[in-house]
Amino acid sequence: MSRVGRVERTTKETSVLVEIDLDGSGQVEVSTGVGFYDHMLDQLGRHGLFDLTVKTEGDLHIDSHHTIEDTALALGAAFKQALGDKVGIYRFGNCTVPLDESLAQVTVDLSGRPYLVHTEPENMAPMIGEYDTTMTRHILESFVAQAQIALHVHVPYGRNAHHIVECQFKALARALRYASERDPRAAGILPSTKGAL
């Protein structure tokens, strides 16, 4: 059964298309106009082994906020759509990823209940290219709200802002991959005692 999500989202500020195949091989085509964000979404697809297409046109003449936020909202909605009924998946996933001096720990529950816990080092460099580093938390908030998952992201240490953000996306990719994969021992079973996710 195909596990593909496709979302088109258009406002006065942005036009976004996201397609994701949870059972892909990490083929990625991303264009948001924000170079570092493209790089992070590429990490998400490749390390999650998701086939991912993202095409966003936004009001970058103002700044990158709307473009980044609306892309994350569409990505979360597409991920939720691709999960379908969640029957037979692992549901939980976690991964710890180092990137030189930085470390990210990510744990996810595809619970149907949006909740985010996010910590990262303070006093990071404010910008990576045209990417505002305060947007990382907002990306995760937006994704979680639409995907309806519980997500805990913790960066206990790190110095370089590029590394701090990138290891979060890599760990998120792997945790989502593990949680969304089909469990061969639980075929046809919804991983919930409530009978609903």
Q: What domains, with CATH codes, occur in the chain?
A: 4-180 (3.30.230.40)
CA–CA distances in Å: residue 117 to residues 39, 49, 151, 181: 23, 24, 6, 23
Q: Name the pLDDT band for 103 (thresholds 50, 70, 90).
A: very high
DSSP helix/strand/coil, 129: coil
| pLDDT for residue 130 | 93
| pLDDT for residue 55 | 98
Whole-number Å distance between alpha carbons of 4 and 156? 34
Cβ contact 6:78 at 8 Å:
yes
Both tokens assigned to 171: 């760990």
**Paired sense of beta strands 102-109 and 14-21, if any:** unpaired
CA 62 to chain centre: 24
Q: What is the mean pLDDT of residues 113-127?
A: 97
| pLDDT for residue 93 | 98
H-type alpha helices, the chain: 35-48, 65-83, 135-147, 161-180
Both tokens assigned to 107: 């744990």
DSSP helix/strand/coil, 116: strand
Q: Which residues contact 98 (CB under 8 A, 6 or more apart)?
A: 167
pLDDT in tens, 151-180: 999 999 999 999 999 999 999 999 999 999
**Paired sense of beta strands 51-58 and 28-31, if any:** parallel
